[in-house]
Structure 1
Amino acid sequence: MIKKMLIAVVGLAISGCQSSTELQTAVEQATPVPSSVKAAIVKDARDYLVDPYSVRDAEISYMQFNKHSGLHWVCVKANAKNRMGGYSGRQAVEVWVRNGQLAGNLPNSPACNLPTMKWQAFPELEALRNA
């Protein structure tokens, strides 16, 4: 629990360091996510999600860079079953990447709701239901 709170606080500090202009520039300069990062997200989704085999409607944003923190970040949107066994609706999670490795996440990040964000389908995450 402490680790999750620490990650959330760090996330707020990281996202707070970018001005709106810098954030918009990061979105405009975003690049497609490398397959190695996608594979790491899929691997960690098995432990992060309550029912990873129920994922549907998955998308991943293009990768942005925060020059203040030195972290890259992407957003993942997906719908999966919750603890009650029902679908909870698409949720967004900001995922931080440092040197090609996942470094943390921030559920329901406001950055994931930017209207200019570039998205692409994330079939690799949806493929968990066939695993």
Structure 2
Amino acid sequence: LPYYFDEPFADNSEIATMLVAKLAKSRVDVALSGDAGDEFFCGYNIYPNVAQAQKLNALGAVTDFAGRLPLPQGKHLIDLLPFRVRVVAANRDPETKLQICSPSYLRKKRTEGSRPLPTWHRI
């Protein structure tokens, strides 16, 4: 591996990736592994979003009610959340999912430049 990476590399998953690439080489011109996809596409700033969601526990039933309110066109507040936040929410219990739909949280995300994705992009 040091030959290919030009330095020592501590991720042993690359051994399997290199073997698959070697097998695929006979029939495939280009193959994408997805390695470093987290860093390239989403980054690791999901952790602050989880911390923010946990802080919203104090709002309790208010966020539960607000999260269930339907919006125009049959959407709910969770549909307006940025993709990264919905990914984090997908791994949370229903109460926490609704809590991160609070209007103050959505306003904060909007001012940071996040845009909601269409409903069909939801996880």
Provide TM-score, normalisation by structure 1. 0.31
Bigger Rg over Cα: 2
Provide TM-score, normalisation by structure 2. 0.32
Greater RCO (CA < 8 Å, at least 6 residues apart): 1
Looking at secondary structure, tell me which structure has more helix per residue: 2
Looking at secondary structure, tell me which structure has more strand per residue: 1
